[in-house]
Amino acid sequence: MTGTVAGTATLLEHLDEGLAAVEGAMLDVTDSQVEVLRDASRHILGAGGKRIRPRLMLLAYMALGGSDLNYVAGPAAAVELMHTASVVHDDINDHGIMRRGRPSVNATWGRTFALLTGDFLFTAVYELMASYGALNIDLAQAATALVEGETLQATAVKSNDFSREVYMRVIALKTAALFRAAGAIGAKLADAEASEVEALSEFGFNLGLAFQIIDDILDLVADEKSLGKTSGIDVDQGRGVAVALGAENGHGGAPSADPVDAIMRKLLEGDTIHKAREQASLLISRAIDSLDVLEASPAKQALVELAHEVVNRDR
Amino acid sequence: MTGTVAGTATLLEHLDEGLAAVEGAMLDVTDSQVEVLRDASRHILGAGGKRIRPRLMLLAYMALGGSDLNYVAGPAAAVELMHTASVVHDDINDHGIMRRGRPSVNATWGRTFALLTGDFLFTAVYELMASYGALNIDLAQAATALVEGETLQATAVKSNDFSREVYMRVIALKTAALFRAAGAIGAKLADAEASEVEALSEFGFNLGLAFQIIDDILDLVADEKSLGKTSGIDVDQGRGVAVALGAENGHGGAPSADPVDAIMRKLLEGDTIHKAREQASLLISRAIDSLDVLEASPAKQALVELAHEVVNRDR
């Protein structure tokens, strides 16, 4: 018991060192000679964020016996930068003015530089991964999936044609594929067996799906609050926009100007926030189940806690 | 003599096969499950283009003894797609409505999908290169340089602060770095010696600089024509916008809404098209000189001809 607590304390210290190395890698690779790219990158990176993708990769690596966190810092920084690049471009398409509690890159530097900053972060991903051989395949496929998911989402918004199937396909591509790659790359960097790589891939994928569902629910709740419709939506009852829209299939409801709003609202068509939370919990259980092939360790335990944290978070 | 002609004929046939394989690789990797990404990619790829970067890579490879053009087709497709991605994003920032004789992706599918199509082409580059190990470093660095060059250009336009130095820095980053990578990767794929890789890198870099200078001159001449100011600018006299602006340093002239126009106009400040052409010719001579370390071959001869073609082209 004392051993586990001590092991956990050591692990968390180790993880913090790893995350610090990830921050360092992100700052290094974005230290451009071109001022606006450096400044805009640091603006968005400095705003923080949950760093859940790097944490997933670092823990997957440690759960499979890896110990050189500096070796993993590059790829872990790469998955976070890939996500960040997509966020910067999203804020152009969605006219997002705030991001992580700060004005968005788009709002601060304008569209042209936001577009170029997103491109730059993407090239930084590529630079970080260049010396990691075949692992590039995992990340490249996830990158393509991410863009495909964003595009499917934009297409569905434009044609006002959301169904649960479309929603699940969108989040599998735009979010879960990168989580899967983070798990897989962490495992591969630790020279894991194929079955272990598969376990961490599955863990990452289901974690990613749950993460996005919860993210969309939280955004919707925040929207409700800011719209002043409710002083705090009754999450368990699933009241709100879903009911207000009153649509049972993917073709009802008014089109929204904001794709993110739209997808969240559509998610809940004919459904309730409660059900969506249940689905996220189910996905988290599946994710945790896939870790059965791993030996017990503080890092494995931390992965389980990460999964619970994703579904229980309130921001 | 007959031997050379026959060798050249064989080479050109071989090159055509290689270029066909490049087209195939570009179509395969952009065959997305997401319709708009596939359609928009094919729209821009199907419009053609000079394919000068793939030709450079294929010829560099062959000039150093390489013969498996299918092996080079992936990286050669990657450099072309990287260029194409930047073109699609450029057309968003510059409000470009025509590209390669067709409506731009931006004009056809709108800004959101143009942004995502550019991102998608970028992920396609990454997918194509994923299994090429350390060669990713060359291309990743060129990708970063390209974005930095575009950003420097946008910065200079915004602050209306162009000098010859800024112009040369912009084109070195946004154009010549990718040409350099094309030459280097072609040589490395043929297992060339370090000195040969360096020769092809230098060749590519100077070719890229010259290519961009000529491109900017041709755009300027075309602008003159379409503006109806002259029925065909007297290139040798260097009359036109440069003189009209009347600026001798980087701070004069009215800011232009179109960054590309602006950089071309500024290029010629206090200078003439004639001088710019002379500079391009000098760069082409330097490029050809760097091929001295290579043994004579039809492919080497084709590289020399490619260089002449770049500086002598009229479109």
Chain B CB contacts of A112 below 8 Å: 93, 154
- Find chain A residues with C-beta within 8 A of B146's C-beta: 123
Residue B113 forms contact with A (CB below 8 Å):
yes
Q: B123 and chain A: CB distance < 8 Å anywhere?
A: yes
pLDDT of B186 > 80? The answer is yes
Q: Which member of B93, B120, B137 has the closest CB to residue A115?
A: B93
Mean pLDDT, chain A, integer: 85
User: Which has more pLDDT, A97 or A147?
Assistant: A147
- The two three-digit tokens of residue B70, written as one number: 């299918």
A133 touches chain B (CB under 8 A): yes
Q: Chain-wide mean pLDDT for chain B?
A: 85
Which domains can be identified in chain A, with CATH numbers? 2-312 (1.10.600.10)
How far is the alpha carbon of A243 from chain B, nearest alpha carbon, in Å? 30
Mean pLDDT of A88-114: 92
B115/A112 CB distance under 8 A: no
How high is the pLDDT of residue B267? Answer: 58
**pLDDT-based confidence at residue A244 (cuts at 50, 70, 90):** very low
pLDDT at residue B233 is higher than 50: no
The pLDDT of residue B2 is 42
> What pLDDT does B225 receive?
58
* pLDDT reading at B81 higher than 70: yes
Residue B47's Cβ-count burial label (10 Å; 0-12, 13-18, 19+) is middle
B47 touches chain A (CB under 8 A): no
Does A111 contact B124 at a Cβ distance shorter than 8 Å?
Answer: no
Q: How far apart, in Å, are the Cα atoms of A96 and each of A31, A52, A128?
A: 25, 22, 28
DSSP 8-state class, residue A166: H
Q: Which helix (H) or strand (E) holds A309?
A: helix A298-312
Q: Which chain B residues in 62-101 lie under 8 Å from chain A, judged by CB atoms? A: 86, 89, 92-93
* Closest-CA residue to B146 (of B214, B82, B77): B82
pLDDT of residue A275: 84
CB-CB neighbors (< 8 A) of A78 in chain B: none
Q: Nearest CA to CA, how far is B135 from chain A (Å)?
A: 8
Q: Which residues of A touch B114 (CB under 8 A)?
A: none
Is residue A259 pLDDT above 60, yes or no? no
Residue of chain A with shortest Cα separation from B110: A93
Non-local (6+) Cβ contacts of B39 within 8 A are none
Beta strands in chain B (DSSP E): 98-99, 102-103
> What tokens does A175 get?
């979010």
Of A205-214, B80-89, B246-255, give the lowest mean pLDDT range. B246-255
CA distance B13 to B167: 38
**Mutation site, B84, B115, B165, interface A, largest A CB count within 10 A:** B115
Residue B252: its pLDDT value, please?
Answer: 36
Query: Lowest-pLDDT range, A69-73, A218-222, B76-80, B260-264?
Result: B260-264
Backbone angles phi, psi at A314, to 5 degrees: -120, 15
Number of Cβ within a 10 Å radius of residue A257: 10
Q: Are A93 and A259 in contact (CB under 8 A)?
A: yes
Residues 6+ apart with CB under 8 A from B49: B80, B84, B100
